[in-house]
Amino acid sequence: MAHTPTSHRKPRKRSPWLAIASVFFLLIALIGIFLFFNNRSKQEIKTKTNASSHRKIVTSIKKKKWVKQKTPVKIPILMYHAVHVMDPSEAASANLIVAPDIFESHIKRLKKEGYYFLAPNEAYRALNENALPEKKSHLDYF
C-alpha cells in the first residue's frame, strides 16, 4: 500500500497590515483626486469671474464717448512696482517700493494738477486711435 503524504500544515495567519495599507493608499488616492478636481473647478470659476469682470470693464469703456484728437496723444505713464511699507530686508529694492502714504500724495497731486487716470486698456486705445475719453476717467486699477 502506498503511503501518500498528507500535509498537516497550519493555515497561515494573514497579516492585517496588508489590508490596512491597501485601504490607506486607496484613501490617499481618493483624497488626491478630490483635491485635484476641487482645485480645478475653483480655477474655472475664478477664470469665468475674471472674464465677466473684464467684459464689464471693456463694455463700460466702449460706452464712453471718445473724442479724436487733432494732435498726437501723449500719455505720461507712471509705473509703481510695489506699493507697501518697505521691510528692512527689502533695502536692495528701495527704488522700486513706494510707501502707501507717498503713493497717495502722488495721486492727489496729479489729480490737483488736472491729470486724470486711464486704465491700461484705455491707454492702449488712446495711443492706437489717437482719442481720449470725453469725460475724465477715474483710477480703476493698476
- Tens-digit pLDDT string for the chain (142 aa): 555 566 667 766 777 787 788 888 888 888 888 887 777 666 666 555 555 555 555 555 556 788 999 999 888 888 888 999 999 998 898 888 999 999 999 999 988 988 888 888 888 999 999 998 876 544 444 4
Residue the block writes with cell 496588508: 18
Task: State the DSSP string of 72-116.
Answer: ---------SEESPPPGGGGGGGGGEE-HHHHHHHHHHHHHTT--
Query: Residue 2 has what pLDDT?
Result: 58
Q: Dig out the grid coordinates for 48 from the structure.
A: 469665468
Domain ranges for the chain? 17-63, 68-142
Burial 15-38 (b: 16+ CB within 10 A, else e): eeeeeeeeeeeeeeeeeeeeeeee
